[in-house]
Amino acid sequence: MNLYVSPLGNDSWSGRLASPNRTRTDGPFATLERARDAIRTLKRQGKLPEGGVTVWLRGGMYAQLTPLELTAEDGGTPQSPITYSAYRNEQVRLVGGKRVTGWKPVTDATVLRKLPPKARGKVLVADLRGQGITDYGQMRRRGFGLSTGIPAGLELFYNGKPMPLARYPNEGWLKIAATPAGQQGGRFTCDDPRLRRWMGAEDVWVHGYWTWDWADSYERIVSIDAEKGEIVTAEPHGVYGYTPGKRFRVLNLLEELDTPGEWYLDRETGLLYFYPPDDGTGEAMVSLTEKPLFTLNGVSHLRIERMTFEVCRATGIEMRGGQQNTIAGCTFRNIGTVGVVIEGGTEHKVVSCDFMDLGDGGIQVSGGDRNTLTPCKHEVLNCLFTRYSRWCRTYRPAVLVNGVGVRVAHCLMYDAPHNAILFGGNDHLFEYNEVHHVCTETGDAGAFYIGRDFTQRGTVIRYNYFHDLGKSLQAETFVDVMAVYLDDCASGITIFGNVFYKAGRAAMIGGGRDNTVENNIFVECEPSVHVDARGLGWASFWFDGRDSTLMDRLKAVPYQQPPWSERYPELVNILNDEPAVPKGNKIIRNISVGGRWIDLYDNLTDKIITIRDNIIDGDAGVEVTAKGIRLRKDSPAFKLGFQPIPVEKIGLYRDAYRKRLPSH
Q: 3-class secondary structure for 492-556? A: CCEEECCEEEEECEEEEEECCCCCEEECCEEECCCCCEEEECHHHCCCHHHCCCCCCHHHHHHHC
Where the chain has pLDDT below 70, the residues are 471-479, 664
Residue range(s) defining the domain that contains residue 150 = 98-166+256-282
Q: What's the structural domain count of the chain?
A: 4
Q: Is residue 198 part of a domain?
A: yes
Helices (H), 348-460: none
Asked if residue 632 and residue 492 are part of one domain, the reply reads yes
Asked if residue 4 and residue 88 are part of one domain, the reply reads yes
pLDDT of res. 479? 59
Q: Is residue 24 part of a domain?
A: yes
Asked if residue 155 and residue 127 are part of one domain, the reply reads yes
Q: Is residue 261 part of a domain?
A: yes
Tell me: cis bond preceding 236? Omega within 30 of 0 counts. yes
Asked if residue 138 and residue 114 are part of one domain, the reply reads yes
Q: Is residue 354 part of a domain?
A: no
Asked if residue 276 and residue 148 are part of one domain, the reply reads yes
Q: Is residue 452 part of a domain?
A: no
Class of residue 35 by CB neighbours under 10 A (exposed 0-12, middle 13-18, buried 19+) = buried
Q: For residue 514, which amino acid is it?
A: D
User: Which DSSP symbol is given to 110?
Assistant: H
Asked if residue 487 and residue 623 are part of one domain, the reply reads yes
- Residues 430-464 as b/e (b if ≥16 CB within 10 A, e otherwise) read bbbbbbbbbbbbbbbbbbbbbbbbbbbbbbbbbbb
Contact criterion met (CB below 8 Å) for 313 and 127: no
Cα-Cα-Cα-Cα dihedral sign, residues 130, 135, 140, 143 = negative
Q: Is residue 145 part of a domain?
A: yes
DSSP code string of 155-174: -EEETTEEPPBSEESSSS-E
| Boundary of a domain, candidates 252, 268, 299 | 252
Number of other residues whose CB lies within 10 A of the CB of residue 656: 11
CATH of the domain at 201: 2.40.30
| Boundary of a domain, candidates 96, 111, 135 | 96
Q: Is residue 625 part of a domain?
A: yes
Tell me: cis bond preceding 527? Omega within 30 of 0 counts. yes
Q: Is residue 387 part of a domain?
A: no
Residue 113: CB partners within 8 Å, gap ≥ 6?
A: none
Asked if residue 507 and residue 634 are part of one domain, the reply reads yes
Asked if residue 64 and residue 133 are part of one domain, the reply reads no
Asked if residue 195 and residue 67 are part of one domain, the reply reads no
pLDDT of res. 471? 59
What is the spatial distance between Cα 398 and Cα 389, in angstroms, rounded to a whole number? 8
Ranges of beta strands (E only) in 252-370 are 263-266, 271-274, 284-287, 294-297, 302-305, 308-312, 317-320, 326-328, 331-335, 340-343, 349-351, 354-358, 363-367
pLDDT of res. 475? 46
pTM (predicted TM-score)? 0.97
Asked if residue 582 and residue 548 are part of one domain, the reply reads yes
Asked if residue 231 and residue 82 are part of one domain, the reply reads no
Asked if residue 628 and residue 502 are part of one domain, the reply reads yes
